[in-house]
Each structure stands twice: as structure tokens, then as C-alpha cells.
Amino acid sequence: MKVTDLSGLPDGVPAFLQSQGIEELYPPQAEAVEAGVTDGRNLVASVPTASGKTLVAKLAMLSSIERGRQNGTGGTALYIVPLRALASEKAEEFAELEQFGLSIGVSTGNYQSDGEWLGDNDVVVATSEKVDSLIRNGATWMQNLSCIVADEVHLVDDASRGPTLEVTLAKLRQRIPDLQVVALSATIGNAGEIADWLDAELVDSTWRPIDLKTGVHYGNALHFDDGSQRELAVGSKSQTAAIVDDTLADDGSTLVFVNSRRNAEAAARRLAGVTGNGLDTEERAALREVATQIREVSDTETSENLADAVEKGAAFHHAGLAREHRSLVEDAFRDRLIRVVSATPTLAAGVNTPSRRVIVRDWQRYDGTAGGMQPLSALEVHQMFGRAGRPGLDPYGEAVLLASSHGELEELFDRYIYADPEPVRSKLAAEPALRTHVLATVATGFATTRTALLEFLQETLYASQTSEVGRLETVTESVLAYLERNGFLEREGDGLTATPTGHLVSQLYVDPMSAAEIIHGLEDGGPDPTALGLYHLVSRTPDMYQLYLRSGDDETYTEIAYEREAELLGHAPTEFEEAEWEDWLSALKTAKLLEDWAEELDEDRIAERYEVGPGDIRGKVDTAEWLLNAAERLAAELDVESTTAVREARIRVKHGVSEELLDLVRVDNVGRKRARRLYDAGIESRPELREASKPRVLGALRGRTKTAETVLESVGHPDPSMDDVEGDEDAAPEEPDRDGAEAQANLGDF
């Protein structure tokens, strides 16, 4: 099908596609059009990575918006992504649609906002959690939705995030009868079942624009799925290094998937010895620049190790990196500066990082629930395979697993190469998932009776898949009892009503169990809880991913628990309640990290002390701030006396500062380090900063003229110019600049 044959789109779209080099649609794209995707029909597209799913989404959204323009009903298109990083990436990609008179909005954070401003856009990109929160907070513009695209829809199978996407799709389909739903994935083992649930047409294709070979490396050869073999000798190298070297010789790049952060970092360090040998002068200079930017993000050992590897053309990628780290690595890899990235499976989740070859080095990973190493699912491995081959850049793609014996060679072919992805199964009927969604369904008025609630739940994927008669009703009843017991719901006969507290909990987007834990802790904690007590309180909620207790931690944190027992809120378990006591100590370790951050301990010291990366620190800080905001709102709702203490603890952890710096960090462009320098120079508040002598401010900010001007402008100084001003040496901090650059590279500095 030629693009000139497309109809129902805004004027100029076919010509634009032609200008991008697209004369004909790929076969799966043509199938989607023939199935009615541009006519408002629901569609499930199970199509390999790089086979044109995004264009299918664009055609659906553009045609939907054009229909609304033509018939005068308007309508907004919503593109749902699983990850925040993908939201920004897709919004940038969709910016090209603005030439057709469309506006693009993106929203991922602030779960307490109704996001009304988003309704002014024709296309909105958001995570499923953000969409769920918009529904809870009554975003009226969502009634005008005409088309929803659910990217990576196979993630309804994910226990932590899947239920939110599932319930969100079910609610919007019920609220908006004519809503078009387009669901996309590269790996759905039961695509027909998903299509039936969504009343959708199905495009299930294995077509790819470039050839993808999959196989296993064993001995000195690659063994492929088509039965062919090709020599690839290992020699004195490891299998991974030999394959990377072979890929480099053909001017290709490689993604290596491993099973842990530590292995990702170790692999990058080793593989840098392979990539570093082939760099020319220009490449080395460009990589040094990327490495410098990486070091500026954070001063932790993780950041330094990443920069060292990048200087030689290699990198690692995992959730412990700061967001800026990951973006720099992804961009440099796409630009072919970095030639090999060793990553945990998170990189396979839709991030646009294709490569010539994919190596799945580790096909097993540790599973705490199983008590040992467990094989990856075929779905996960196929997601990794899909990263191989870049259309327009690579003549082919190869994805290989590594075997160390003939028996393992055969096992890997049977388990992954010849196997289809597992069927996607709903994870909704578990109490943790249902708690939040049942409360939200009642609080928003979507269901006001038990009967209506159960009728709604019958429209979910779980109900369409389950063979356990009555299970959903049983779990729902248990959840309703929990919500009523904790004062979030009231029941009268068949009727269900959310209490004022229940409404607030739903709008705050916290797990009701987290809210119950916070409420009980605040009510027991008196008017003046300490910061540590509050950090420990939010750290033991289900919404906080606690730090793992390592060898020796039990003794350390047991001692701290007894030393600071009076500060910890709520009822403490005894050491004889082993599981509960271990959870209590894990929360205490997490709280101590937050306390260290709020007492201005350097980021590198925190990373070393708790064996975490900068991304972990930022994740804990962001989650604590969000939960403390919820605690502050709940304290005010319940008229608990500790509201002021909660607010102070929240601001301290947000900025990473001691109490005396709270006023200074309210100034734009003044973070934890700049505030400390100003304070140590005798400037202790915003009024003092507004009226401080400019030489003192410049000296405190280490002679950085532009920084000083920006800070003074932010605080309202009548004349922020630093022209002809010399810094007061007595006000200058003692620590030297690192490599001549302003040592502001800690999280929260700016």
C-alpha cells in the first residue's frame, strides 16, 4: 500500500511521509490500515520491534483527530507508555506532527494534579500511572478522548504495573463508548486473547524490515535458528569479548544483557579493553566530552566508573544510574560513539537503543521468592532480541545466547529460540493490586454499589481469562473489608461510599495500606516527631522499595533501633517476629540513608555507605518526598498536630539540607551545596541574601559570576549584576574545584 493511498488524515500527511522516504507502508502497517485503524476501529498489533508500530499509532491518532475536526466533535488522542523516559522520547518524536496544526503535551509526574492544562493539546503522552491519577483527580478533558494507544501492552502481565494499565483501559472504554483503542507490542504470546478483550481487530505479524537471525554461540561457532553455522573463534577471550570484537570488525555495535548491576559494570570495564583499541583521535575526543558530562552528573564511584568506560567506547546501563547518566549513554550509543553497552533487562523495555548484535549473556537471574537462580521468560528474552538490527543503519541483526555445553546449547534453543513468548496473564486479582483500584473506582463515583463494582471488574482482562469461579468476588470482598476497617470506605447494604479520607488517599495516589500505616504512625507519634521517625514511617510502607539488609546489617541496625527507639513511630515488632523485625530494620536502613541525605552527607559517601548508585539515592529521595507530601495532607485532613514537623521533614529530604538551610533553598538555583556555602559565609536567610554585599555572595559561590547573578536575580536583589565585582576571599569555601569545574554535581545541588 502506497502512502498516497491513505485517506482520512490531515492534509499534507502523505506528502510528509514521502519527504521522510516512506513511499510504501510496511506489510504490518498496511494490514493495520486494512483492518480499519484509520477508520476508528480498535486494533491489537503484535509486530516485531522496528517494524513500524509507531507509524500505526500516528495514523490512528491523526485520523481520529481529523474525524473530530470534520464532524465538529473535537477529540484528544492519548498515547500511554510504560516508562517516564519513553514519554519524553515519544513526545519529541511526535513534535513533527505540529506542522499539521496539532499540539503535543506530555505528563508523567505529580500524581495529585488534575492536569486540566493537558486538555488544550491534541495529543497527550503519559504513563499509565499518570493517566490513572488523572481519572482519580477528575480531569474533565478525558471525556473528550477519541483514541488511546497503549504501547508495550504486554506489560499488563507485570505484577507491579500491569493492573494499572488494565484497569485504566477498562475504565476509559466504559466511560467513552466510541473510544478507539490501539494496543501495540512486539511480544504477545496470546495476542488473539488480548484482541478479544478489547473488541479489536488483530494484526499478528513476524515481518521485519531487516533480517534478524537468532541463535546460540557454543564452542567456536554461532549456531542459528535456520540451521546454519558460522565460525566465531573465542581464542583467549571470553565468549562475550570475542563476539563484541567480531561485531566491531564489521563496524557494528553490541548490546550485552546481564543479570545484575554488578555484572553490568564489570562487563563494561572488561569490554572497554576491546572497544578502546579501535578508536581514532576524533572518537576519543568526543568520548572524553561525554565522559566529562557523566562526571558532572554525580561525584559517586558509579559515575566515575561509567565515565572511565565511556572514554574507551563502552558503557553500562542499569536502574542505579541517574536519569541523566542513562540519557547520555543512550544518546552516545545511538550516535555510534559508544560501541558496546552492558545492561540489565530494563534497557529492553521499549527504550530506542537498537544495535547490530544483541548478546544475552545471562539467561538466569536471582529470584528471591524462589530462593535461587531462575530462567528468564521467553517473553523477556524475545524483548531483548528485538533490540538487534537498526533499519537504515544495519544490513542485518543478530541476537545470540551463550552456551557452555552441548546440553545447554540444546536447552537454549528449546527454551528461547524455538519458543513463542508466554501468554500475557492479568495480575489484577491480588489484594495489593486491587486495594488501590477498588478504592479509586468507588471514590471517583465510577461504582457506588458492590454490584456495580463487580460488574465493572467483569470487564477486565482478568475476568476474561480466569477459570476460577468466584475468585475475583472473594478477593474484592476481602479488599472492601480492609478499606472499611481502615476508615476509607463506608458500606450500607449494597452501597459503597468513600469517606473524605478515602477520597484524599485515592487522589494522593498512594496504596491504601501505605496511607493506613502513615495515619496510624502519625496518630501514635505525638506533635513533634523527628525527621528519622518520619523517614522510617514512610520507608515501611508498600510504596517504598526498601534497601536490602546485607551481611552484618542486622547487628548494626538492631543497635540503632534500640538507641533511637523513642523516635520510631508506631508499634515495633520484637526480634522474635523474624520477618516483621527484618522489614523494620530494612525500613530503618532506608530511613538512615534519607537522614544522611537530609544532613548534607556527600552523595559519594552515601553511595559508598549503602552500596547504592546515584539513581537509587534519587529514587529514594523522590519517593520519600512524595510519601511525606501525602503524610502532610493526611495529617491536615485528620487534624494531627505533627503537620509542621512532616512539612519540614519533606522539605529537608527534597533539598538534602539541615534545618538551618531551609529558608535559603527556597531560592531558585540554590541547592544544598550553594546554600551551605552561603550560610557558612554568614548569609543565613533570603532577606540576608537579598541585601548581602555582592563581593561576599560572589566569594561564597566561588567566584562564579553568572551563578552569583542568577542567584541574586532569583532572590529579588535590586542590582544583581556582577560587573567589576571581586569576590571576597574570606567568604570563599575551602574545598577546591574539581578539574577546574564547579563541584556542584551532586543530586539536588541546583
> Among 707, 692, 690, which Cα is nearest to 743's?
707
512-656 CATH fold? Sec63 N-terminal domain-like fold (1.10.3380)
Domain 662-731 coded CATH 1.10.150: yes
Q: Are 139 and 114 in contact (CB under 8 A)?
A: yes
Q: Average pLDDT for residues 555-568, to the nearest whole number? A: 95
pLDDT of residue 103: 93
Amino acid in position 150: A
pLDDT surpassing 80 at residue 740: no
> Is 179 in contact with 146 (CB distance < 8 Å)?
yes
Same fold yes or no, 212-417 and 431-508: no
| Arithmetic mean of pLDDT, 145-161 | 94
Helix (H) or strand (E) holding 39: none
The Cβ of residue 234 has, within 10 Å, a number of other Cβ atoms equal to 16
pLDDT at 369 over 80: no
Rg of the chain (C-alpha set): 28
Longest dimension (CA), the chain: 80
What does the alpha-carbon distance between residue 149 and residue 73 come to, in Å, rounded to a whole number? Answer: 20
Q: What is the mean pLDDT of residues 499-521?
A: 96
Span 699-704, mean pLDDT?
A: 91
Mean local confidence (pLDDT), 553-578:
94
Q: Examine the pLDDT at 742 and tell me if it is beyond 70.
A: no
Mean pLDDT estimate for the chain: 92
Distances in Å between the alpha carbon of 511 and those of 199, 215, 350, 508, 627? 31, 43, 27, 9, 10
Could you confirm whether domain 3-204 is CATH 3.40.50.11890? no
| Per-residue confidence (pLDDT) for residue 735, from 0 to 100 | 55
Whether the CB-CB separation of 376 and 364 falls below 8 Å is answered with yes
CATH class of 431-508: mainly alpha
Rounded to the nearest 5°, which phi and psi values hold at 187? -140, 85
Cell of 300: 559517586
Residue 535 has pLDDT above 90, yes or no: yes
Q: Calculate what percentage of the chain has a pLDDT beyond 70.
A: 97
Instruction: Give me the residue spans of the domains in the chain.
Output: 3-204, 212-417, 431-508, 512-656, 662-731
pTM: 0.89
User: What cell numbers appear for 22 in the block?
Assistant: 516512506
- Cα distance between residue 350 and residue 387, in whole Å: 9
Residue 347 pLDDT grade (very low, low, confident, very high; cuts 50, 70, 90) = confident
C-alpha cell at 456: 465493572
φ and ψ at 270, to 5 degrees?
-70, -40
- CA 614/CA 310 separation, integer angstroms: 17
CA distance to 156, 331, 333, 709, 747, per residue, from 290 (Å): 36, 10, 11, 28, 19
> Could you count the other beta carbons within 10 Å of the beta carbon of residue 726?
11
Least confident among 217-221, 241-245, 248-252, 726-730: 726-730
Domain 212-417: give its CATH architecture: 3-Layer(aba) Sandwich (3.40)
Band (pLDDT 50/70/90 cuts) for residue 281 is very high
Place 4 in a pLDDT band, splitting at 50, 70 and 90: very high
**3-state SS of the chain: helix, strand, coil percent to 5?**
50, 15, 35
Beta bridge partners of 400: 215, 359
Written as nine digits, the cell of 112 is 495529585
Q: What is the pLDDT of residues 600-657, one digit of tens each?
A: 999 999 999 999 999 999 999 999 999 999 999 999 999 988 999 999 999 999 999 9
Distance, first Cα to last Cα, the chain:
52
pLDDT at 480 over 90: yes
